[in-house]
Amino acid sequence: MGKAWVWGLVLFAVGCSSPQSQPSEEPPPQEPPPAELPQLSVDPYRALVVVDASVVLDARASNAANGPWSFRWLMEQLAGDEARAPQFVEAWLRSLRTSSLNGFALEDRRGVEVLLGTGPGAWPRTSTGALDLSRAPFRLLAIVNRMDVISSASSNGEGRFVFGFVDPATGEPGRMTVAFEFRLPPLGTSDDRKAWAQRWFDAAQQPWGEAYNRALEELTRGFSARGVDPNGAGGSALSQLRMNEAAFGELWELREWQLEAGPGGTFLRLSPLPQTPDGAMHTSRDKVTAAPL
């Protein structure tokens, strides 16, 4: 065969052959799937709003036993001195007779004189005439986790105790609640907010009864005991004390006090309510009497 035929055969074979396969591009590496988060079980009545009878009726909430969840113990922590605590409490209650604040008129809550008097319905007193805090007419209603109350970037939220008034004359619930609202103080960790959340979570994992109450006591002492916040008045972490009542006047009123340090020790100063218009802004008293705040 001639050379031309050979070259033709070669060219024919090349032309009929399949095109060379190009190297395939590898797909970009995929991110590994995120690790599955653990399924956490949180009981809101253990971790957020604690109202179980095994807690609020525990000896820790007893004024007579001066338990760390009692109205008596908390007031003694604020007063800084157990001996002056009765005077501290009476001065706080008498501030309800204040008739003005920041230039605005306040209703004089004259009804408080019944509680501070000597007749039926009065707070029992000791032989020295001081209010008997072991018989304080307030019982624990709830311990509340308010880590959602964030006032600044460094805030850890609040822990609260809510008490209901008990009429000394009848033993029946009165028309008043008092809330001790404490800042969750710094713990010295790299993430104090997370550390406080972990404390609430860990306590909530305990079963109802002594195990849970013991864990909850350790947690609450961390924000309610005297000395936990060096920057607070008297070392207290109290953010504010609030009272909502219709026991001493015609209408329901919400009032707030701040703890301050004075020459004779700490005291509760009546303070304006944040984001609250003056009562004179109400166009009708009938609207206000419809329901408590």
Q: How many DSSP H helices and E strands does the chain contain?
A: 9, 9
Residue 8 is predicted with a pLDDT of: 45
Which residues 6+ apart lie within 8 Å of 179 measured at CB?
160, 161, 162, 163, 241, 242, 243, 244
Residue found by looking up tokens 């009542």 in the block: 245
Q: Which two tokens stand for residue 208?
A: 């109802």
Integer angstrom CA distances of residue 266 from 23, 40, 75, 181, 217: 82, 42, 11, 17, 25
Q: Give the number of other CB atoms < 10 A from CB of residue 96.
A: 23
Confidence of residue 103 (pLDDT cuts 50, 70, 90): confident
* Least confidently predicted of 54-58, 64-68, 149-153, 281-285: 281-285
Are the C-beta atoms of 136 and 71 separated by less than 8 Å?
A: yes
Please report, to the nearest 10 degrees, the dihedral formed by the alpha carbons of residues 96, 99, 101, 104 taken in order: 140
Q: Give the number of other CB atoms < 10 A from CB of residue 287.
A: 9
Integer angstrom CA distances of residue 155 from 99, 227, 273: 34, 18, 20
What are residue 206's phi and psi, to 5 degrees? -80, 150
pLDDT digits (tens, 9 = 90+) for 177-232: 999 999 999 999 999 999 999 999 999 999 999 999 999 999 999 999 999 999 99
- Assign 140 to helix, strand or coil: strand
Enter the pTM of the model: 0.83
Residue 279 is predicted with a pLDDT of: 67
User: Considering the chain, what percentage of its residues have pLDDT values greater than 70?
Assistant: 86
CA atoms within 13 A on the CB side of 55: 28
Are the C-beta atoms of 251 and 178 separated by less than 8 Å?
A: no
For residue 26, the 8-state DSSP code is: P
- Assign 180 to helix, strand or coil: strand
